[in-house]
Structure 1
Amino acid sequence: MKKLLAILILCQSMCFAEIFGVDDRLEAFEEMPSVLRQNLRSSVALVPKNRLSITDNGVSILSNSLAETLRMCENSRFSNQPLLANCSGSLVGNDTVLTAAHCLPDDKQESCDEYYYVFDYEVGGDGKVKTLKKENIFECQKIIHHDFDTFFSKTGLDLALVKLKRAVSDRTPYKVNFSEISNGDEIFMIGYPLGAPKKVSHGATVKDSPFKNSFSSDLDTFSVNSGSPIFDRNTGDLIGVLVRGTGANLRSVGQCNDWSYAEESGFADGNNLLSIKEILEGIND
């Protein structure tokens, strides 16, 4: 439990970001271009084990809503949805998940055991969170890669790869593109902002490359988006992972909170995948 609290504090201090311009984040059931929709199913939520009850009768969510937990205003988008996830990730092999390394404090077994890896945590067309299925909930067998430049002073890397206890048989791992990322490239992202169900952030572009291994963008991101897969808007290929950002997550509106909006100086940083190219190519051979 102490380690999980440490992870929560670290994520809250590193993963801030905000909405750039209009809040155009999409729910999984909403209309969207096919290049976005085809990538929905292989996004995964990292959920602390004490937030789910898994029995013979099914799966129950044990966490409160964003409104209850974060005092979000009743009319704020998604405020009635649960705060369940603690990080985001993506399926990059039949039994392998890619996420941000700061979501897992180290590569030890205790870190491996902190989370369930949950697919299809999303809202359906009726506006309700879909019932989670036991067959879509996985556990970590071991952490096979962990590279975290804590103060982002050297490499800027923040990537981890997790091997699951069993293979994921009903969805396809993302196709990874290791090509150079350039300013102006159109991108989108899938993740779980502030622990809410799956959202698609789109209409964004690459803005800068502060490190050899990183790039900045104007994606709409928040805490718990850490580890979210970032995609090329034209091809749908996986090109990076959301690892850090600026901003305050929430802004005070009277007696409650609403989503925060970015200033021009704000940014969201992603790592490209060149540093783990050899590992990923080996996984998918």
Structure 2
Amino acid sequence: MKRNSFVAALSVAVAATFSVGFVNITPKVIYGEDNRVDVYQVQRSDIREIADSTVALIPKSSLVPGAEGKIKIHAKIYGKQMNLCSSEPFFDQPAAANCSGSLVGEDLIATAGHCISSSDCAKYAFVFGYRMIDERRAPLSVAEEDVYSCKEIVAREYTREQDYALVRLDRPVRGHRVLTLQTTPVEAGDDIYVVGHPSGLPTKIADGAKVRSQNGAYFQANLDTYGGNSGSAVFNARTNEVVGILVRGAQDFVYDRENKCTVSNRCSDEGCRGEDVTNISYIVKALQQ
């Protein structure tokens, strides 16, 4: 993909010195240039505000009450956990999230259907603000008020084509804005970007992507996403409206036999199968019921 337009050239260069991972059942991949960047690198205030409405789905077993109203997050180091080559981006960052989600109502989160169900609703925390503070400081804890629980599953489908869930939280969200949803489907060639937690990492933003095809239930695109991005909101790059939910894609990693470590799977912008994104219309309908 083209260079990330949300950051300065220097910021992109810094971003290329890290990488993180958490295995998920629906892998993704890098297309062209790796456009993933941390929130602190983004120059545009509107994009940072959108990222502030993203949640990480983290097992409650990984969260421990801390001092002064903080919740500690226990996470493994991405590069070591995945036996990555040292050249992989975000190698030293922590990986805590299983999936991603976004705020679409006062107390409602949109995510992927395979990320959560009624049987494991109580097992996950929905955490705002799981992001890098700067180049070196990782989110080892978050404010207690930014940690929410699942109250109920309002709507959910997980089939071959449809993969989405609408989750009601235990209380209304404060300090984060509700995202705007696009009411018309995207078309081939539309410019898009994604915000979420690739491989369980702190929040990443990746732009420079395009819609490849529209299939009705979902569309395909060349987004730079990984397992952990499942449930991530995908945005119209022109309007910043949510157009879909990232759900599946090509293989994340391949093994480097010469160096005996793992590296990101890379495809051309037009190559590989593409990433599948559930159309946001399913969430729009669920919100109207």
| TM-score of Structure 1 vs Structure 2, range by shorter chain | 0.7 to 0.9
Pairwise CA distance, 1:249: 3.1
8 Å CA contact retained: 1:35, 1:235:
no
What do you get for the CA RMSD once the two structures are aligned?
1.8
8 Å CA contact retained: 2:166, 2:286:
no
Alignment match of 1:141 (pick from 151, 161, 164): 151
Q: Say if 1:44 and 1:250 are closer, same or farther in 2 by CA, change over 3 A.
A: farther
Alignment match of 1:275 (pick from 260, 263, 282): 282
1:111 equivalent in structure 2: 120
Map of 1:25-44 to 2, 5 A cutoff? Answer: 25-44=36-55
1:164 equivalent in structure 2: 169
8 Å CA contact retained: 1:247, 1:266:
no
Pairwise CA distance, 1:163: 0.4
- Tell me if 1:175 matches 2:180: yes
Q: Which amino acid aligns with 1:61?
A: I
2:90 equivalent in structure 1: 78
Superposed CA deviations along residues 150-186 of structure 1, whole A, max 9, x for unmatched, are: xx1xxx1101011000111111110111212100000
So what's the TM-score if we normalise by structure 1? Answer: 0.87
2:99 equivalent in structure 1: 87
- Tell me if 1:62 matches 2:74: yes
8 Å CA contact retained: 2:196, 2:205:
yes
Pairwise CA distance, 1:33: 3.8
Mapped to 1, the partners of 2:154 and 2:137 lie a distance apart of 36
Ranges in structure 2 where 5+ consecutive residues have no aligned partner = 1-21
Pairwise CA distance, 1:59: 2.1
2:142 equivalent in structure 1: 132
- Tell me if 1:238 matches 2:242: yes
| Misfit runs of 4+, over 6 Å | none
Superposed CA deviations along residues 182-210 of structure 1, whole A, max 9, x for unmatched, are: 0000000001011111000110000012x
Q: Say if 1:180 and 1:246 are closer, same or farther in 2 by CA, change over 3 A.
A: same
Pairwise CA distance, 1:61: 2.1
8 Å CA contact retained: 1:28, 1:122:
yes
Mapped to 2, the partners of 1:35 and 1:203 lie a distance apart of 17
- Tell me if 1:122 matches 2:134: no
Pairwise CA distance, 1:229: 0.1
Q: Which amino acid aligns with 2:252?
A: A
Mapped to 2, the partners of 1:232 and 1:126 lie a distance apart of 28
Q: Which range moved further: 68-77 or 247-256?
A: 247-256
Pairwise CA distance, 1:213: 1.4
Superposed CA deviations along residues 111-155 of structure 1, whole A, max 9, x for unmatched, are: 111201000100012421134111111101111111111xx1xxx
1:5 equivalent in structure 2: none
Q: Which amino acid aligns with 2:182?
A: N
For 2:94, what is the secondary structure of its paired residue? coil
2:30 equivalent in structure 1: 19
So what's the TM-score if we normalise by structure 2? Answer: 0.86
8 Å CA contact retained: 1:74, 1:80:
no
Mapped to 1, the partners of 2:173 and 2:149 lie a distance apart of 11
Percent of matched pairs sharing the same residue: 30
Report the number of matched residues. Answer: 263
For 1:26, what is the secondary structure of its paired residue? strand
8 Å CA contact retained: 2:83, 2:262:
yes
1:6 equivalent in structure 2: none
8 Å CA contact retained: 1:189, 1:231:
yes
Pairwise CA distance, 1:56: 4.6
For 1:29, what is the secondary structure of its paired residue? helix
8 Å CA contact retained: 1:222, 1:249:
no
1:198 equivalent in structure 2: 203
Pairwise CA distance, 1:273: 1.8
For 1:89, what is the secondary structure of its paired residue? strand
Pairwise CA distance, 1:247: 1.8
8 Å CA contact retained: 2:227, 2:252:
no
Q: Which range moved further: 86-95 or 124-133?
A: 124-133
